[in-house]
Amino acid sequence: MARDERRARGTRSAGRTSGEAGAPTGGIREVARAAGVSVATVSRVVNGTAVVRDETKRRVETEIARLRYAPHAAARSLITNRTSTVGVVLPDIWGEYFSEVIRGIDLAARQAGYHVLVSSSHSDAAETRDVLRAMNGRVDGVVVMAPHASPRALSSAMPAGLPSVFLNSAPGGADAPSLSVDNRGGARAMVAHLLALGHRRLALLNGPGSNRDAAERRRGAFDAARAAGLAAESVLEIQGDFAEESGRVAGEELLRRSPRPTALFAANDSMAIGALYALRRARAAIPADVAVAGFDDVPIARFASPPLSTVRHDIRSLGERALARLVAEIDGRGDGLPAREVLPFHLVLRYSTEGIDTETTTEPSRPPRAGAPTPEPTTDRRRKAR
């Protein structure tokens, strides 16, 4: 059946001068026959790997154009063992975040001469493994973001000898390099900002329990609380799931509390925006009654009402860096480089915590050394044009 299909696609064309109509291979061989040269010569013309006499070359090029010949990538990579393609494995191609990661990867890949093979929406570890399997032989390496799977499980799911880079994975265990957003540092800085504004009754709106980013953001928030001398018990924790709706629910929940928290830090912007919605609906003044902050700086954060203070991390550059690192790995230049890289973040302070209508942004935090606590970035108030 597959065989029949194949035959069906072969570009049939009778032999040239010699009348033999047999073997309509339809690939490089057909070009070779048409141009009256050997396949080796055609290959040399296509790749420019050796010098070919001018007239021969022209003849070959003519036939290539006429037959619309394009080399079969699979065959080529079988022998060269290079695909010029990198794989990207993501939980989803969902909304702002992931599409931005992909975009960063794609941009960098293009520049480095690689294609990008995406695979997304795999929910569990088994599916991730299958996807990684399927990538073997069609990519030179993979960028993997699997917030659920343990790095150990991930490493063992990796086909033997396939270069890889992990995104936002847990620190230890894996033997592949990994890049991360500074979840902990960002959350720490934002909560420190809230506390510096005088807030003492803090609410935390957490992300899904299984999500690593969420867990680290929570940890960062507690770092800051502890540093400011706040008892862990005095922090109200509400469970969310990163979706806007759960933020709305949490906003209502918060309002019902009798010593009502005066500041809410949500583990991502979607939830923060949901909470803003609920709070405004209940006529709570923001930030006078409740200050709200999020994480990610998604595009609509700026347009929320009121505009949302948040932690910006450059998602695109996360993708770009990941790709650069992967290419290094593929080229065998990866050994000298650090196994773990943490990307800087900015604090973006807007009306929802500041109560004034301009936007201030901190310097990008220098990437912290792995594990070392990040001191709060010194929030220098440069007014930004818009």
Partner DNA sequence: TTTTCGCATGAAAACGGTTACAGAGCGATG
Partner DNA sequence: CATCGCTCTGTAACCGTTTTCATGCGAAAA
Site residues for a copy of itself per CB under 8 A = 2, 5-6, 8-9, 11, 26, 67-78, 80-85, 93-95, 99, 102-103, 106-107, 110, 115-121, 132-138, 156, 158-161, 299-300, 303-305, 332
Question: Which of the stretches 68-76, 253-261, 310-318, 322-330 binds DNA when contact is defined by CB under 7 A?
Answer: 68-76
The C-alpha atoms of residue 334 and residue 182 are separated, in whole angstroms, by 22
Among candidate residues 278, 314, 309, 316, the one with its CA nearest the CA of residue 295: 309
The C-alpha atoms of residue 202 and residue 226 are separated, in whole angstroms, by 12
Minimum CB distance to DNA smaller for 32 or for 204: 32
Residues 290-324: b if buried by 16+ CB within 10 A, e if exposed: bbbbbbbbbeebeebebbbbbbbbbbbbbbbbbbb
Paired strand residues for 36: none
Q: How far is the CB of 30 from DNA (least distance, A)?
A: 8
50 binds, among DNA, a copy of itself, none (CB under 5 to 8 A by kind): DNA
Q: How far is the CB of 44 from a copy of itself (least distance, A)?
A: 15
> Which amino acid does the sequence have at 118?
V
Minimum CB distance to a copy of itself smaller for 18 or for 81: 81
173 binds, among DNA, a copy of itself, none (CB under 5 to 8 A by kind): none
> Which amino acid does the sequence have at 229?
G
- Contact 239/206 with Cβ under 8 angstroms? yes
Looking at residue 256, what DSSP letter applies? H
- Kindly state whether residue 11 participates in binding DNA, applying the rule CB under 7 A: no
- Contact 335/326 with Cβ under 8 angstroms? no
Give the one residue of 22, 53, 65, 68 binding DNA; rule: CB under 7 A: 53
Rg over alpha carbons for the chain, rounded to the nearest Å, is 28
47 binds, among DNA, a copy of itself, none (CB under 5 to 8 A by kind): DNA
- Kindly state whether residue 72 participates in binding DNA, applying the rule CB under 7 A: yes
Minimum CB distance to a copy of itself smaller for 2 or for 231: 2
- Contact 173/155 with Cβ under 8 angstroms? yes
The C-alpha atoms of residue 37 and residue 35 are separated, in whole angstroms, by 6
Give the one residue of 33, 34, 52, 251 binding DNA; rule: CB under 7 A: 52
Q: How far is the CB of 76 from DNA (least distance, A)?
A: 4
Q: Which stretches of the chain bind DNA, using CB under 7 A?
A: 2-3, 6, 10, 25-29, 36-41, 43-44, 46-47, 49-53, 55-57, 69, 71-72, 75-76, 78-81, 137
